[in-house]
Amino acid sequence: MTPPEPSSDLMRYIAMLASREPAGGFLELRYRNPQGPGMQQHFHYATNTTRIARHILTLAEHSDVYIGVAPRRSRNGGRAAVSRSWVLWADIDTPGAEQNIAALPIAPGVIIRSGSAGHQHLYWPLTEPLTPADVEHANGTLAHALGADTGAVLGAATILRPPGTLNHKHTPPSPVTAERVDLRGHPAADILHGLPALERPTPPRETHTRNGSDPLLAIEPARYVEILTGQTVPRHRKIHCPLHEDSTPSLHVYEQPQNGWHCYGCNQGGTIYDLAAHVWGLGTRGKDFIQLRQRLTDLLLPGHTVNHDIDTRRNGPARNGRTATRVHAHEIIVDDPAGLNEHREFDPDRELDVVADGHNGTPAGATSGGPAVTSPGDPPGY
């Protein structure tokens, strides 16, 4: 069977979610199992835009299809697998929303009609990605300003319907359509400018990562990049990459330590450890890593005592397993010559990020910071 030809709206929608994600990231598709109860998950490399689009359209012929709005760093749909999101979003199902949208400082670049009357998903592409906690806070601020759903749909691991699919809750199934697809990004601060500030929720558990005790991982990327490369990080935050011949600055220096740095020329990136290892010609494991951390501490945190017992030594320097993911991703490529990642049965006992359906009587789910769990087989409602 010839795969369906994806529309440019679907291709651009996928690109918005994932095209800037550093190598090794996944997009999650979740869909109802046409052969039985429950949902199934499928993880694609985030850069395989065309393959993802074709798979979405093939699945959509028989099933409700959802996509993880934030890329995953491992083949897991939970919030812990999310390192960053490239968009903010809101879920609107009230008739008077147009006025509220018009009152926002920046209009949503992308509007998807989810196939039920009045339901719209709004997206704001970002110039810089946000961490899960920050994206949830920003989504909450937008939702309050819009009078939109403030339930679990705001969570970083949310799955939503991509355009070009069908909403099978209706008979006949109704199309999920793109009303606007404008991918121009804005800084989160501009999108939220002047909106009533939400109180910060108590930090979710994930902020206490195993690397939380490593002060080197808390240093702003601009600071360590300048010291390690000798280049000044300009306003546009791009410098000449020291890892490859780079005539135009293609190494982006993110603001937050958890986002680190990424070169869009040679597709390398990571933490302070990854950059120092490249610059100094060291590895990131074993003795090399101990030396790496000692030299970085001497250079950037003079007077600080290195605690060799912290977990980064055992696990390598990668934040959220970034290095591990890269290795793992390589294994997947080798195992997967056909290019299709494995299908995996959806296991309702695993940590789920599926949001409860607030529109058909089931509970509206948890607040941001904790996953809402549906009963097995209960499809999300957006």
Residues that bind Zn ion (CB under 5 A): 241, 243-244, 263, 265-266
**CA–CA separation, 173 vs 375, rounded Å?**
24
State the minimum distance, in angstroms, from the CB of residue 278 to Zn ion: 9
Alpha helices, DSSP H only, in 147-202?
A: 188-191
Name the residue nearer to Zn ion (CB basis): 227 or 243. Answer: 243
Alpha helices, DSSP H only, in the chain?
A: 8-18, 49-60, 97-102, 132-146, 188-191, 221-229, 272-280, 286-300, 311-315, 322-335
Name the residue nearer to Zn ion (CB basis): 201 or 265. Answer: 265
Name the residue nearer to Zn ion (CB basis): 106 or 266. Answer: 266
State the minimum distance, in angstroms, from the CB of residue 250 to Zn ion: 6
Cis peptide bond prior to 172, omega within 30° of 0: yes
Length of the chain measured in residues: 382
Q: Which residues contact 118 (CB under 8 A, 6 or more apart)?
A: 92, 93, 94, 95
- Identify whether the C-beta of residue 194 lies closer than 8 Å to the C-beta of residue 275: no
Name the residue nearer to Zn ion (CB basis): 151 or 260. Answer: 260
State the minimum distance, in angstroms, from the CB of residue 100 to Zn ion: 43
Name the residue nearer to Zn ion (CB basis): 4 or 242. Answer: 242
DSSP bridge partners of 339: none
State the minimum distance, in angstroms, from the CB of residue 271 to Zn ion: 16
State the minimum distance, in angstroms, from the CB of residue 262 to Zn ion: 9
Q: Which residue is associated with the tokens 């699919």?
A: 165
DSSP string across 270-287: E-HHHHHHHHHT--SSHH
Q: Which residue is associated with the tokens 């290019």?
A: 339
State the minimum distance, in angstroms, from the CB of residue 364 to Zn ion: 45
Name the residue nearer to Zn ion (CB basis): 163 or 249. Answer: 249
- Identify whether the C-beta of residue 381 lies closer than 8 Å to the C-beta of residue 121: no
Comparing CA positions, the residue from 178, 56, 167 lying closest to residue 113 is 178
DSSP string across 37-84: SSEEEEEEETT-HHHHHHHHHHHHTTS-EEEESSPBSSS--SGGGB--
State the minimum distance, in angstroms, from the CB of residue 253 to Zn ion: 12
Six-digit token string for 315: 């696990």
State the minimum distance, in angstroms, from the CB of residue 231 to Zn ion: 13
**CA–CA separation, 247 vs 269, rounded Å?**
18
Instruction: Find the helix or strand (DSSP H, E) in which 177 lies.
Output: strand 177-181
Name the residue nearer to Zn ion (CB basis): 241 or 372. Answer: 241
Is the alpha carbon torsion for 71, 76, 77, 82 positive or negative?
A: negative
Name the residue nearer to Zn ion (CB basis): 245 or 349. Answer: 245
Cα Rg, the chain, nearest whole Å: 21
Name the residue nearer to Zn ion (CB basis): 65 or 251. Answer: 251
Name the residue nearer to Zn ion (CB basis): 72 or 322. Answer: 322
Six-digit token string for 329: 């991703």
DSSP letter assigned to residue 98:
H
State the minimum distance, in angstroms, from the CB of residue 21 to Zn ion: 16
State the minimum distance, in angstroms, from the CB of residue 23 to Zn ion: 12
Q: Which residues contact 50 (CB under 8 A, 6 or more apart)?
A: 6, 11
